[in-house]
Amino acid sequence: MNQKVAVFRKEHFNAAHRLFCADWSAEKNWEVFGPCSNPNYHGHNYELIVQVNGVPDPITGFVINTKDLTKIVDEEVKARFDHKNLNLDTEVFKNLNPTAENIAIVIYNLIRPRISESLDLKIRLYETERNFVDYPA
Protein backbone atom coordinates (compact mmCIF):
# COMPACT_ATOMS: atom_id res chain seq x y z
CA MET A 1 0.00 0.00 0.00
CA ASN A 2 0.97 3.59 -0.53
CA GLN A 3 2.66 4.63 2.72
CA LYS A 4 2.86 8.30 1.84
CA VAL A 5 0.91 10.95 3.73
CA ALA A 6 -0.06 14.29 2.15
CA VAL A 7 0.54 17.33 4.36
CA PHE A 8 -1.31 20.58 3.56
CA ARG A 9 -0.52 24.09 4.76
CA LYS A 10 -2.88 26.97 3.99
CA GLU A 11 -1.50 30.51 3.59
CA HIS A 12 -2.85 33.67 2.01
CA PHE A 13 -1.83 36.85 0.25
CA ASN A 14 -3.64 39.84 -1.21
CA ALA A 15 -2.77 41.22 -4.62
CA ALA A 16 -4.00 43.36 -7.51
CA HIS A 17 -3.93 42.05 -11.06
CA ARG A 18 -5.33 42.48 -14.53
CA LEU A 19 -5.94 39.85 -17.22
CA PHE A 20 -5.29 40.98 -20.77
CA CYS A 21 -3.34 40.28 -23.92
CA ALA A 22 -1.18 43.23 -25.03
CA ASP A 23 -1.57 42.25 -28.70
CA TRP A 24 -5.36 42.47 -28.55
CA SER A 25 -7.76 45.41 -28.79
CA ALA A 26 -9.66 46.58 -25.71
CA GLU A 27 -12.79 45.07 -27.28
CA LYS A 28 -11.18 41.66 -27.77
CA ASN A 29 -9.79 41.76 -24.23
CA TRP A 30 -13.25 42.58 -22.86
CA GLU A 31 -14.80 39.80 -24.92
CA VAL A 32 -12.40 37.19 -23.49
CA PHE A 33 -11.59 38.52 -20.02
CA GLY A 34 -14.64 40.69 -19.26
CA PRO A 35 -14.22 43.06 -16.28
CA CYS A 36 -10.99 41.22 -15.35
CA SER A 37 -9.37 43.25 -18.14
CA ASN A 38 -10.07 46.60 -16.40
CA PRO A 39 -6.95 48.71 -17.20
CA ASN A 40 -6.68 50.03 -13.62
CA TYR A 41 -6.62 46.52 -12.10
CA HIS A 42 -8.81 44.80 -9.53
CA GLY A 43 -7.72 42.39 -6.80
CA HIS A 44 -8.19 39.27 -4.75
CA ASN A 45 -7.59 37.60 -1.41
CA TYR A 46 -5.63 34.62 -2.68
CA GLU A 47 -5.76 31.49 -0.51
CA LEU A 48 -2.82 29.18 -1.17
CA ILE A 49 -2.67 25.53 -0.10
CA VAL A 50 0.74 23.88 -0.42
CA GLN A 51 0.59 20.07 -0.43
CA VAL A 52 3.68 17.96 0.27
CA ASN A 53 3.53 14.16 0.01
CA GLY A 54 6.01 11.86 1.70
CA VAL A 55 6.63 9.16 4.28
CA PRO A 56 6.51 10.51 7.87
CA ASP A 57 9.79 10.46 9.78
CA PRO A 58 9.60 7.56 12.27
CA ILE A 59 10.79 9.72 15.17
CA THR A 60 9.08 13.08 14.68
CA GLY A 61 6.01 11.77 12.87
CA PHE A 62 6.37 14.65 10.39
CA VAL A 63 6.47 14.44 6.58
CA ILE A 64 7.82 17.97 6.73
CA ASN A 65 7.95 20.41 9.62
CA THR A 66 5.24 22.95 8.79
CA LYS A 67 7.45 25.59 10.42
CA ASP A 68 9.94 25.01 7.56
CA LEU A 69 7.16 24.96 4.97
CA THR A 70 5.76 28.27 6.23
CA LYS A 71 9.22 29.83 6.01
CA ILE A 72 9.58 28.72 2.39
CA VAL A 73 6.16 30.15 1.50
CA ASP A 74 7.03 33.42 3.26
CA GLU A 75 10.29 33.78 1.37
CA GLU A 76 9.28 32.54 -2.08
CA VAL A 77 5.62 33.57 -2.31
CA LYS A 78 4.55 36.18 0.21
CA ALA A 79 7.68 38.33 -0.08
CA ARG A 80 7.11 38.45 -3.86
CA PHE A 81 3.32 38.69 -4.19
CA ASP A 82 1.65 39.83 -0.95
CA HIS A 83 0.18 43.35 -1.17
CA LYS A 84 1.61 43.69 -4.66
CA ASN A 85 0.33 44.42 -8.14
CA LEU A 86 1.16 41.19 -9.97
CA ASN A 87 1.39 42.87 -13.39
CA LEU A 88 3.49 45.86 -12.30
CA ASP A 89 5.47 44.76 -9.23
CA THR A 90 6.76 41.34 -10.34
CA GLU A 91 9.11 40.27 -13.09
CA VAL A 92 7.42 36.95 -13.79
CA PHE A 93 4.00 38.39 -14.69
CA LYS A 94 5.31 41.26 -16.81
CA ASN A 95 4.83 39.05 -19.87
CA LEU A 96 2.68 36.24 -18.49
CA ASN A 97 -1.04 36.64 -17.90
CA PRO A 98 -1.62 36.32 -14.10
CA THR A 99 -4.52 33.85 -14.32
CA ALA A 100 -5.00 31.50 -11.39
CA GLU A 101 -3.58 28.75 -13.60
CA ASN A 102 -0.36 30.65 -14.30
CA ILE A 103 0.06 31.89 -10.72
CA ALA A 104 -0.20 28.29 -9.47
CA ILE A 105 2.42 27.09 -11.96
CA VAL A 106 4.75 29.96 -11.00
CA ILE A 107 4.35 29.22 -7.28
CA TYR A 108 5.02 25.53 -7.91
CA ASN A 109 8.24 26.39 -9.74
CA LEU A 110 9.35 28.73 -6.94
CA ILE A 111 8.77 26.20 -4.15
CA ARG A 112 9.84 22.98 -5.93
CA PRO A 113 13.64 23.61 -5.62
CA ARG A 114 13.24 24.33 -1.88
CA ILE A 115 11.64 20.93 -1.11
CA SER A 116 13.50 17.61 -0.88
CA GLU A 117 13.37 15.56 -4.07
CA SER A 118 11.90 12.66 -2.09
CA LEU A 119 8.75 14.70 -1.56
CA ASP A 120 5.94 15.41 -4.05
CA LEU A 121 4.56 18.92 -4.33
CA LYS A 122 1.12 20.18 -5.37
CA ILE A 123 -0.35 23.70 -5.31
CA ARG A 124 -3.97 24.73 -4.82
CA LEU A 125 -4.79 28.40 -5.33
CA TYR A 126 -8.16 30.02 -4.59
CA GLU A 127 -8.68 33.27 -6.51
CA THR A 128 -12.14 33.50 -4.96
CA GLU A 129 -14.15 31.01 -2.93
CA ARG A 130 -15.77 29.93 -6.21
CA ASN A 131 -12.75 29.91 -8.57
CA PHE A 132 -9.69 27.83 -7.80
CA VAL A 133 -7.02 25.66 -9.44
CA ASP A 134 -4.68 22.75 -8.70
CA TYR A 135 -1.22 22.27 -10.18
CA PRO A 136 -0.26 19.70 -11.16
CA ALA A 137 -3.78 18.38 -11.89
Which position among 36, 42, 91, 129 bears the catalytic label? 36
What is the contact mask toward a second copy in residues 48 to 87, using x (rule: CB under 8 A)? -----xx-x--xxxxx-xxx--------------xxxx--
Please report the beta strands in 1-135, taking only residues with DSSP state E, as ranges in sequence order.
5-17, 42-54, 84-85, 120-128, 131-135
Q: How far is the CB of 42 from a second copy (least distance, A)?
A: 4
Which position among 21, 31, 75, 83 bears the catalytic label? 83
Task: Give dist(CA 18, CA 43) in Å, integer.
Answer: 8
Whether 21 is catalytic: no
H/E stretch holding 54: strand 42-54
Q: Longest C-alpha distance within the chain, in Å?
A: 60
Can residue 21 be called a binding residue for a second copy (CB under 8 A)?
yes
Can residue 36 be called a binding residue for a second copy (CB under 8 A)?
yes
